[in-house]
Structure 1
Amino acid sequence: MGYPGKNHKSYQTPKRPWEKTRIEEETRLVIEYGLRNKREVWKAQSHLRKYRKAARELLALMSNAADQAVFDAKKTELISHMQRVGLLGPDADVDDVLALKVPAHLERRLQTLVYRKGLARSPKQARQLVTHGHIAIAGRRVTIPGYLVHRGEENDIAYYGKSPFVDASHAERTRITKPAGAAGSGVN
């Protein structure tokens, strides 16, 4: 066991580092979501890998008829957790956990939701606004672009109270328009 104060790696690097299709897909995700580097894609993959592992363990438990009550309890716990986080919909099952892809995880990041809500012009600007402390969730400043926003917190994303962006006449804010794909953008 290591020193408890030491940070540990929260991702795994690819086993085949020069695979062309993987590199192109990761590059596309980095550009589309305005990520800092591919390490953030690998973190998302590792996060989803943990959920998939739990789902596979559940399916292994299901084969044993004596543990049906344990299976139902663990299944309910996993599915409800993932619904609270926002990775799954209301009528999801264990198969939906196994079918999750990296973009589903990247869509739940604060940086992406700031852009989707129309608080920034681009994903890169959304990252900058979060990092510089202009974004708050329920009035509390959050400066981590990779913060996973729960479903209940999604509607509470706004500019921080002391930020100059609160003023609607701010020069940069007048240039910001909601993206075409954003829900409720009002653009027809």
Structure 2
Amino acid sequence: MGDPKKHRKKYTTPGHPWQRARIEEEKQLMQEYGFKNKTEIWKMVSFLRDATAQAKKLVTLSGPQADKEKELLLERMRRYGLLSPEAALDAILSISLRDVLERRLQTIVYKKNLANSMKQARQFITHAHICIGDKLVTSPSYLVPLKEEGQINFRARSRLSDPEHPERVASRAVKEKEVKEKIVKKEDKKEKKPEERPKERPKERPKAKKPAKKAAEAKAKKEE
């Protein structure tokens, strides 16, 4: 039978535990993308770091094996929709962490209006309500290839597959309300035009009054 395979960590922790900028960024990402813990962020960071490190290494190499590895890396990034078909190897260096987070199953379920929020999208996935084609996926951090994106839907055996399910009806109502609010805001902006204020005339400066003593002396001279 052999020895059981040892599972290795799929991420590396930050080198310094107290970096204010990184902590603030992670806090914002957790709120925006509905992460359960920071380990999920570090997994995505490690995925991107490994890809950029491999790209930097391969840029300086040449030969049949290097060309093969370059093509495999480019194909991998294209498969996830992180690069365009015409992109070169150095384009991998411009991929941001948010680009990777947009390819997570949790994010796409929310963007496809299958859930009201990121947290609800996570709940649907972990409770086995979401499938990709005939494949059941229960990992919110699953990176979705482009060819599988159109196959994401509710599982046939799930109660949420019914369009009239209370959660789905509520989801449609929320989305419709958001669309209406956006339309109303746009119309209000068009109607409200800045009012032209009448130009104010420059104020005339009052003439300086002569001191009383000088005025009396001037009057006395005139009388003489």
Normalising by structure 1, what TM-score? 0.86
> Alignment identity in percent?
44
Alpha-carbon distance in 2 for matches of 1:29, 1:179: 23
Q: 4+ runs of 1 displaced by more than 6 Å?
A: none
- How many residues in Structure 1 have an aligned counterpart in Structure 2? 175
Match of 2:103 in 1: 108
Question: Residue 89 of structure 1 aligns with which residue?
Answer: 84
1:20 counterpart residue number: 20
Q: Does 1:48 align with 2:43?
A: no
Equivalent residue letter for 2:147: G
1:29 aligns with 2:24: no
Alignment of 1:120-139 (within 5 A): 120-139=115-134
Where does the alignment leave 5 or more consecutive residues of structure 2 unmatched? 177-181, 184-224
Residue 22 (structure 1) shift: 0.5
* 1:168 matches 2:154: no
Instruction: Return the structure number with greater relative CO, CA threshold 8 A, min gap 6.
Output: 1
* Ranges in structure 1 where 5+ consecutive residues have no aligned partner: 181-186
Once residues 4 and 105 of structure 2 are traced to their aligned partners in structure 1, the CA distance between those partners, rounded to angstroms, is 28
Secondary structure at the aligned position of 2:153 is classed as strand
**Distance in 1 (alpha carbons) for counterparts of 2:86 and 2:35:** 31
The structural deviation recorded for 1:168 is: 1.1
User: Per the alignment, in what secondary structure is the counterpart of residue 158 of structure 1?
Assistant: strand
Q: Which amino acid aligns with 1:53?
A: A
Counterpart AA for 1:36 = K
TM-score, normalised with respect to structure 2: 0.73
User: Deviation of residue 179 (structure 1)?
Assistant: 6.0
Q: CA deviation at 1:148?
A: 1.1
Check if 1:146 corresponds to 2:146: no
Amino acid in structure 2 at the alignment position of 1:149 = V
Q: Partner of 1:118 in structure 2?
A: 113
Calculate the aligned-residue CA RMSD, in Å.
1.9
Aligned equivalents of 1:46 and 1:85: distance in 2?
16
- Equivalent-residue separation in structure 2 for 1:140 and 1:40 (angstroms): 22
Query: Aligned partners of 1:176 and 1:16: how far apart in 2?
Result: 41
Contact 2:59-2:90 at 8 Å conserved across structures: no
Q: Kindly name which structure, 1 or 2, has the bigger radius of gyration based on alpha carbons.
A: 2
